[in-house]
Amino acid sequence: MTATRPRPLVAGNWKMNGLIKGVNELDAIATGVAAGEAGSAEVLVCPPFTLVSRFSAEAAGQHIKIGAQDCHAEASGAHTGDISAEMLKDAGASYVIVGHSERRTDHAETDAQVKAKAEAALRAHLVAIVCIGETRNERESGKTLDVVGTQLAGSLPAGATGANTVIAYEPVWAIGTGLTPTAADVKQVHDFIRAGLVERLGDEGHNVRILYGGSVKPANCVELMGVDNVDGALVGGASLKAADFLGIAAAYR
């Protein structure tokens, strides 16, 4: 079958970084995208909750989208400190990351909780970026595909399609460490994820974008983005600087 996936996605996860003055970097990213520096790629910036509304207003009418880094599974209620998907939509977000390894580790999030958050995103008409990936111990023990397969099966939302769901493969051991899997390693896992999506979603599984994340930088992006079944990148630290982030998006020029 010929896939009809949306165009490649290059998403920046700012994590717990960024103040209002970060709008200058956002503007620089938008300027670069408008000038064609991201080629065919869709560009997304996911700042902290405190900046979603401000960034969404700044990005209005420009060629970038704004997302968030997490959401609660419920639409409202007595959940002090949490943010619902509906609130993110109201603030101008169009995407939300769920199940990032730092959430799974720091907050002990389970696959079931990640799935519930992804379904909340779909309920609020946000695109869910569902993160999966193995630790270094799991990779060295030869469990990569078992772990990734289990997380995919347990975290994929009901009703997932190529239009409302993105999968991000982020090997935990490569996030922020400077370590990067080989292109062959990435291909093996992404091909496995694609097969899993097709098994669960039928032909629609061909249409879901699969991003790679983990120490992506301008120096290695062309090789990584050129791997079969890699439909873009989820970028961490390198997305905080417009020049670096655009340098990665330039893989799609």
Catalytic residues: 100, 170
If we measure between CA atoms, which residue out of 61, 41, 47 comes closest to residue 249?
41
Task: Give CA 48 to chain center in angstroms.
Answer: 14
CA separation for the pair 247, 50 (Å, rounded): 26
Q: What residues pair up with 185 in beta bridges, in sequence order?
A: none
| DSSP-assigned letters across all residues of 146-200 | HHHHHHHHHHPPTT--TTTEEEEE--GGGTTTS----HHHHHHHHHHHHHHHHHH
Spatial neighbors of 118 by CB under 8 A, at least 6 apart, are: 98, 99, 128, 130, 155, 156, 157, 160, 165
Residue 215 near residue 175, CB atoms below 8 Å: yes
